[in-house]
Structure 1
Amino acid sequence: MHVLKTIFTVLFILLIAIIVHALFSVTMARIYLGRIDHDGEYITVGKEKLYIEVSGAGDPIILIHGFLGSHFDFESIVEELSTFRKVYAVDLPGFGLSRASLEGDYSRKGYADLVSALMHILNIDRADILGHSMGGEIALNLAYYYPERVKSLILVDSMGYSKMDFLSSLIEGNEFLNHVFMRYFFQTYMVQRFTFRQKLGDVSKFNREFFNLSFSLIDHVSPAFLYRLNSQNDSGALSERIGDIKSRTLIIWGEKDRIAPVADGERLKTDILGSELEIITGAGHLPMLEDPHLFLEKLKHFLN
């Protein structure tokens, strides 16, 4: 009886801690979501309304963020990049400030179809395509299925060779458990803060203000959308066909990336003939945030 009472007490305290943390997370997210600038516009593509920020003039470059990312991930490079390119920073459906209709195709291939359709609406025949992490895999799909759309390809710590699978089959296959896991654990403040720090090659570069703003957009993501995203997960499906991509390609990688190892960047360089690989020393999974000056230097050299 004493043991059962102890177990019950521990579980009760744990439940209270989870609820308190969830409430704290939501409160932080709401505070900082109000501080996010809404300088862009919404464009309807099929059933989806995409938030997009456009700046600069010149040849177009489209920036595609990664999983749980947004246009905000490119904040440190957009201003300078827009001095010599017309920059389109897009929030994919379900992420950032773009709510998902929950009726679309949210596979990597589906997102590539969407970007191609967006380009048609924007009257962009061809563009430089920069994709980070999951966005890199979407960019690979775009280059494979719509090569006429891609002037050049820039892959930043890109996914592409293996399936992104961080959920147990039990949680992944059950919408209710998926919702509980995402909302009360994965999307909470402390878990995302830990995850963000893991993405950095040098944790001393952790910027609390930037993270808080980013977290507000992560909290904004619907668990119902994440369930659908997981159910349509086709990551790694293109891995055996990457060698067929002919686009002029730059691969930028953080030397200390714990999420996507440098070996994946080296494999991309081998598979995509003529591609260039640039390693940013000391950086992790977010080299454009950790060393924007060097990142832009390598990007400018390639684009020019």
Structure 2
Amino acid sequence: MEQAVISGYQPVNNINVYYEFYPNQASEETFVLLHGFLSSTFTFRHLISLLKKDYQVLSIDLPPFGKSAKCNQYVYSYKNLAQTVIKLTDSLGLKKMTFIGHSMGGQIVLNILHMTPELADKAILLCSSAYLKRSKLPLILTSYLPYFHLFVKYWFARTGVKKNLQDALFNHAIINEEMINGYLQPFLEDEIFVALTRMIRDREGDLPIEILNQIKTPCLLLWGDHDKSIPLNVGEKLNKDLVNSELIVLKDTGHALPEERPMEVFEYIKGFIDHYKTAAES
């Protein structure tokens, strides 16, 4: 039976991580949700309301985003973020899970599948980051300048939340004040920009093809045909490089699948889970 949300902070891997856990004792399936860059658990609010009725759900604010701590000593590499997620799930006593990653969160899911394949039953990658190189050396060196975080803040203010949402969504009509405020909230304090500066230095490149080829976990790839942030051809390449994957393209859809198509995403996830459940029973 679906129960009330358990939310709070867990100190893991030398940082306080905010999470929301929706227990469901009637379900054998646990989903772990990982959001994208400049985002948070807020991204998944529509999807969570659908998933929590039938499944157990854990949604995590990846440091330094959302309500998680912004710490200048933390290493903001994908590998360390993946280890942080692994340690958090362990501290909550979770074993076999299905990971759902949107955008950058998809790359962290892929790191988890590579590092601890035994943890994941399956994975769902929503417009996942892939094939991005590390930041170029001049940018990394520039990030050491005093007050560089103020340049990061200025850049963010210039582009603005609304403009970012317009780039991420095909259907601009769904942008409203609740959505804008939800994405803006974590960026009202200066600490986030100090942490983002650190992330510029720490973020390694996305997993190389030879590592992707080794991942055996069943992966469902969902992509918007109008994704400007991570175009569909990235999804097609990722589908080729993952040996056990399936790609589904959603029409008239941008990058922010959990915002734009939560019901369709939920139906595809349910179909994916049911397919493997039926296969296991037969």
TM class, shorter-chain normalised? 0.7 to 0.9
2:220–2:272 Cα contact (<8 Å) kept: yes
Question: d(CA) in 2 for partners of 1:119 and 1:170?
Answer: 32
When the two chains are superposed, the root-mean-square deviation of aligned CA atoms in Å is 2.1
Say which SS state the counterpart of residue 176 (structure 1) adopts.
coil
Deviation at 1:47, TM superposition (A): 1.3
Q: Does 2:54 correspond to 1:54?
A: no
Change (3 A) 1:185 1:60: same
CA 1:208–1:239 in 2, change beyond 3 Å: closer, same or farther? farther
Larger % of helix: which?
1
How far does the alpha carbon of each residue in 1:61-102 deviate from its partner, in whole angstroms, 9 at most, with x for none? 100011111000000110110111110010112110001332
**Partner secondary structure for residue 89 of structure 1:** strand
1:246 maps to 2:208: no
- Correspondence for 1:42: 9
Aligned letter for 2:122? S
SS of residue matched to 1:285: coil
Query: Helix, strand or coil for the counterpart of 2:213?
Result: helix
- CA offset at residue 207 of structure 1? 2.4
Point out the structure with max Rg over C-alpha. Answer: 1
Structure 1 residue 167: Cα displacement: 10
Equivalence map 1:115-264=2 (5 Å): 115-163=85-133, 165=135, 169=139, 172-176=142-146, 178-186=148-156, 188=157, 191-220=160-189, 222-264=192-234
Greater mean alpha carbon deviation, residues 222-231 or residues 205-214: 205-214
Given that residues 172 and 230 in structure 1 are in contact (C-alpha distance below 8 angstroms), is that contact kept between their aligned partners in structure 2? Answer: no
Q: Distance in 1 between matches of 2:154 and 2:145?
A: 14
TM-score when normalising by structure 1: 0.82
From 36, 42, 50, the counterpart of 1:80: 50
Aligned length: 266
5+ long unaligned stretches in structure 2: 275-282
1:89-129 deviations in Å (ceiling 9; x for gaps): 10112110001332222101111111111121111122100
More displaced 10-residue stretch of structure 1: 237-246 or 147-156: 237-246
Q: Distance in 1 between matches of 2:209 and 2:228?
A: 20
Aligned twin of 1:281: 251
Other structure's SS at 2:164 match: helix
**Aligned residue type for 2:39:** G
Cα 1:275/1:52, change in 2 over 3 Å:
same
1:47, 1:101 within 8 Å by CA — same for their partners in 2? no
Whether the 8 Å CA contact 1:141–1:238 is kept in 2: the answer is: no
Quickly say closer, same or farther: Cα 1:303–1:161, change in 2 above 3 A.
same
Counterparts in 2 of 1:169 and 1:189: CA distance versus 1, 3 Å? closer
Check whether the contact 2:66–2:186 (CA below 8 A) recurs between aligned residues.
yes
Report the TM-score, using the length of structure 2 for normalisation: 0.88
For residues 67 and 210 of structure 2, the distance between their equivalents in structure 1, rounded to whole angstroms, comes to: 33
1-side partners of 2:231 and 2:142: how far apart? 25
Query: Which stretch has the larger CA shift, 135-144 or 266-275?
Result: 266-275
Q: Percent identity between the aligned chains? A: 29
2-structure distance, mates of 1:200, 1:63? 20
Q: 1:228-265 CA deviation, whole Å, 9 max, x = no partner? A: 11110113243441111000110011110000010111
Shift of 1:204: 2.3
Match of 2:239, as an amino acid?
K
Give the Cα separation in 1 of the matches to 2:22 and 2:134: 32
The letter of the residue matching 2:22 is: S
Unaligned runs of 5+ in 1: 1-37
AA paired with 2:168? K
1:64 and 1:132 in contact (8 A); partners too: yes
| 2:279 corresponding residue in structure 1 | none
